[in-house]
Amino acid sequence: MSSYQIKNLEEYYQVYRKSVRDPENFWAEIAEEHFVWRKPWDKVLDWDFSKPEVKWFEGAQLNITENCIDRHLATQADKTAIIFEPNDPKEKAQHISYQQLHEKVCAFSNVLKDQGIKKGDRVCIYLPMIPELAVSILACARIGAIHSVVFAGFSSTAIASRINDCECNMVITSDGSFRGTKKIDLKGIVDEALESTPTIKSVLVVKRTEVPINMKEGRDHWVQPLLDKASMDCPIEIMNAEDPLFILYTSGSTGKPKGMMHTTAGYMVYSAYTFKNVFQYKVGDVYWCTADIGWITGHSYIVYGPLANGATTLMFEGVPNFPDFSRFWEIIEKHKVNQFYTAPTAIRALAKEKLDYVENHDLSSLKVLGTVGEPINEEAWHWYNDNVGKKKSPIVDTWWQTETGGIMISPIPYCTPTIPTYATLPLPGIQPALMDEQGKELKGNQVDGRLCIKFPWPGMARTIWGDHKRYKDTYFTAFENKYFTGDGALRDTVGYYRITGRVDDVIIVSGHNLGTAPIEDAINEHPAVAESAIVGFPHDVKGNALYGYVILKETGESRMHDNLRKEINQIITEHIGPIAKLDKIQFTEGLPKTRSGKIMRRILRKIACNETDSLGDTSTLLNPEVVQEIIDNKL
């Protein structure tokens, strides 16, 4: 039995059971029937979580762009692959057909080659949500270069550290970006980053805002004249199944960001299969994911997953509140969107606005609604269900991670009955386990613990670029022979999963994964700061916001404090980006510490969340007296 697209709950259970009983055949059948291979694999799966080492479809050869573009030309060359909806609604939307996408990607690939980029080289892409972002990603994949997309809201320091970590040779950027009424000088930010990136040899610049910028002779090139001269034919580079496809950085609870490395064949099969099922995509549908391609959601569910299925995928350059709060609904009506995938933080922000914005638009094309990035609260779920889906479009609450490459736990719409706040059931091929703190697996239902995955799946990241030990330590040592997600979850009486949130020092703010350590490191660079600690506290739009406790070297006068708060947020913006700014900064004389000197964040978190009656025993702290001082001065 092969069922690429599951049609009902019974079939889901059948397929799921098969995927657990015989995972290799399960994935081999999907891979064989639905993709183009230049050479078949010798072995479906080879794995050892103790190393950890995972290989899918070893021996196979392919190119992901042949699967995402070329193979569709025979049957649907004129079909729209990408709809581009610009920031300004007065600017015309673009419809890029599969044929045109092929031409654009080939031309871009040839430009990359002319610039000396070859298989295995790393290329940093720092672009706004314009078609060139998708095209340049695919061009890298076509010639076997490894793309490392950096979200175009990150600062120059963040770009430089990512470029240096994986030693990119090239940056692809634009003169600037449009975000609502703002124009952002992306090239200026890149120029600053490139002051400390010795490996960068060239910069390709896409023209978007037409704002004058500096072009460094010999290094920087406008891309359009090069594309105009390039051939629109570019043969694919034949890739091995396990050749790296991309690196994407994600925050860790400690230290520098982790360059998650994804490989070619497994990622392709997994992103395509999950896209087809979780969105129940049907021929002719228009699918829209509002994420930025700078995050994994955009990689897997704007670019690779949809295109591998020959779908029409919409890319939106702008923001939900420009020109006003009806923009999302206007786009759904304009392009007759069938599947709409967004984040809880966006839903919460839009739910605060008047209902007219939604009600004045015809949303009857919608068939499936999705959310991703953080737990969705019940209120937001109902608002989405009632007002956007009109109670007829199932909501898929999709749980997954940069590391997992694709959706792991999610309802299948029109199959799995949904319950608000539950991601429900594992997709075929995914074997979750809940663990207690002693490392024992919690069997049966009605349990909660730490969420692990006990069997490999094709989309999983294979390593952290340049640091396999960190990969092992972060994901494979907490629980023997299991991938540890960093999340807590419960399994209810019928086996549905509900994700309860991070159990480490990662805080999800507006759906963005932020590690506390890099933010604290940035704050501590301020000359007046001695030490700091960051925790999350609930926020009605962002989900969580950041609360910082800061010890100053000299107490100083409190009238200086507001200036210091601004400066601290400025440093964070420079080091990481505005998404990591603190909502509250409390200056304090001390931080609660264990006898071994470790900051007790649990106590700080409780104080920030106004849960001071459940602080627990603080008498064993090195400095129990600071707790009361912190409570008394809470903001």
279 is an interface residue for ligand PRX by CB under 6 A: no
* Binding status of residue 411 toward ligand PRX by CB under 6 A: no
- Residue 401 binds to ligand PRX (criterion: CB under 6 A): yes
Q: Name which of residues 465 to 504 contact ligand PRX (CB under 6 A).
A: 485-487, 499, 502
HSE (CB half, 13 Å, CA atoms) of 609? 17
375 in contact with ligand PRX (CB under 6 A): yes
Is the bond into 578 cis (omega within 30 degrees of 0)? no
Residue number, 23 or 411, with CB nearest to ligand PRX: 411
Distances (CA, A) of 144 to 108, 240, 246, 306: 13, 10, 10, 20
Is residue 373 at the binding interface for ligand PRX, with CB under 6 A as the rule?
yes
The dihedrals phi and psi of 445, each to the nearest 5 degrees, come to -100, 175
> Least separation, in Å, of the C-beta of 427 and ligand PRX?
13
Residues in CB range of 171: below 8 A, 6 or more apart: 123, 124, 125, 126, 159, 163, 190, 194, 200, 202, 203, 204
Q: What gap in Å lies between CA 499 and CA 301, rounded to an integer?
A: 21
Least Å distance between CB 485 and ligand PRX?
Answer: 6
Please say whether the beta carbons of 80 and 95 come within 8 A: yes
From residue 498 to residue 537, the character string flagging contacts with ligand PRX as x (rule: CB under 6 A) and all else as - is -x--x-----x----x------------------------
Q: Shortest distance, CB of residue 369 to ligand PRX, whole angstroms? A: 13
Instruction: Figure out which of the listed residues 372, 396, 546, 627 binds ligand PRX, where binding follows CB under 6 A.
Output: 372
Do 199 and 167 meet the contact criterion of CB atoms below 8 Å apart?
yes
Closer residue to ligand PRX, CB minimum distance, 67 or 401: 401
Q: How far is the CB of 230 from ligand PRX (least distance, A)?
A: 34
Cβ proximity to ligand PRX: between 401 and 474 the closer is 401
424 belongs to the binding site for ligand PRX (CB under 6 A): no
Residue 292 binds ligand PRX, judged by CB under 6 A: no
Q: Residue 604 Cβ, how far from ligand PRX at the closest point, in Å?
A: 20
Least CB distance from residue 184 to ligand PRX, whole Å?
A: 22
Is 577 a binding residue for ligand PRX by CB under 6 A? The answer is no
- Position 418 contacts ligand PRX (CB under 6 A): no
The set of residues, in sequence order, having a beta carbon less than 8 Å from that of 366 and lying 6+ positions away, is: 332, 337, 338, 339, 340, 388, 389, 393
Contact pattern for ligand PRX over residues 246 through 265, marking x by CB under 6 A = ----x---------------
Shortest CB 507 distance to ligand PRX, Å: 10
- Whole-angstrom distance, CA of residue 426 vs CA of residue 281: 19
Q: Among residues 110, 398, 424, 510, which is the contact residue for ligand PRX, using CB under 6 A?
A: 398
- Within 10 A of 52 (CB to CB), how many other CB atoms are there? 19
Q: Which is nearer to ligand PRX, 286 or 423 (CB)?
A: 423
Q: Does 320 bind ligand PRX (CB under 6 A)?
A: no
Instruction: Say if CB 254 and CB 505 are below 8 A apart.
Output: yes
**Counting contacts by CB under 6 A, is residue 423 touching ligand PRX?**
yes
Q: Does 402 bind ligand PRX (CB under 6 A)?
A: yes
What's the helix, strand, coil split of the chain in %, to 5?
A: 35, 25, 40
Please report which residue ranges of 77-155 form alpha helices under DSSP H.
Answer: 98-114, 131-143
Amino acid at 399: W
Cβ–Cβ under 8 Å, residues 316 and 330: no
Dihedral (C-alpha) 288, 293, 297, 300: value to the nearest 10 degrees?
Answer: 90
Check if the beta carbon of residue 380 is closer than 8 Å to that of residue 344.
yes
Return the number of the residue (268 or 423) whose C-beta is nearest ligand PRX. Answer: 423
Q: Which range touches ligand PRX (CB under 6 A), out of 48-56, 164-172, 397-405, 612-620?
A: 397-405
Number of residues that bind ligand PRX (CB under 6 A): 21
265-273, 282-290, 370-378, 626-634 -> range binding ligand PRX (CB under 6 A)? 370-378
Separation in Å, CA 209 to CA 176, 205, 265, 291: 5, 11, 37, 21
Min dist CB 317 to ligand PRX, Å, is 20
Instruction: Give the burial string for 516-530 (b: 16+ CB within 10 Å, else e).
Output: bbbbbbbbeebeebe
CB of 537 to ligand PRX, least distance (A): 16
CB atoms closer than 10 angstroms to residue 269:
27
243 binds ligand PRX (CB under 6 A): no
- Provide the minimum distance between the beta carbon of 341 and ligand PRX in the complex, in angstroms, as a whole number: 11
| β-strands 202-206, 220-222 pairing | parallel
Query: What would the two tokens of residue 13 be?
Result: 């259970």
**Which C-beta is closer to ligand PRX: that of 44 or that of 499?**
499
Query: Are residues 35 and 67 in contact, defined by beta-carbon separation less than 8 angstroms?
Result: yes
For ligand PRX, which residue of 105, 129, 289, 296 counts as binding (CB under 6 A)? 296
The least distance separating ligand PRX from the CB of residue 372, rounded to whole angstroms, comes to 5
Residues that bind ligand PRX (CB under 6 A): 250, 296-297, 372-375, 397-402, 423, 485-487, 499, 502, 508, 513
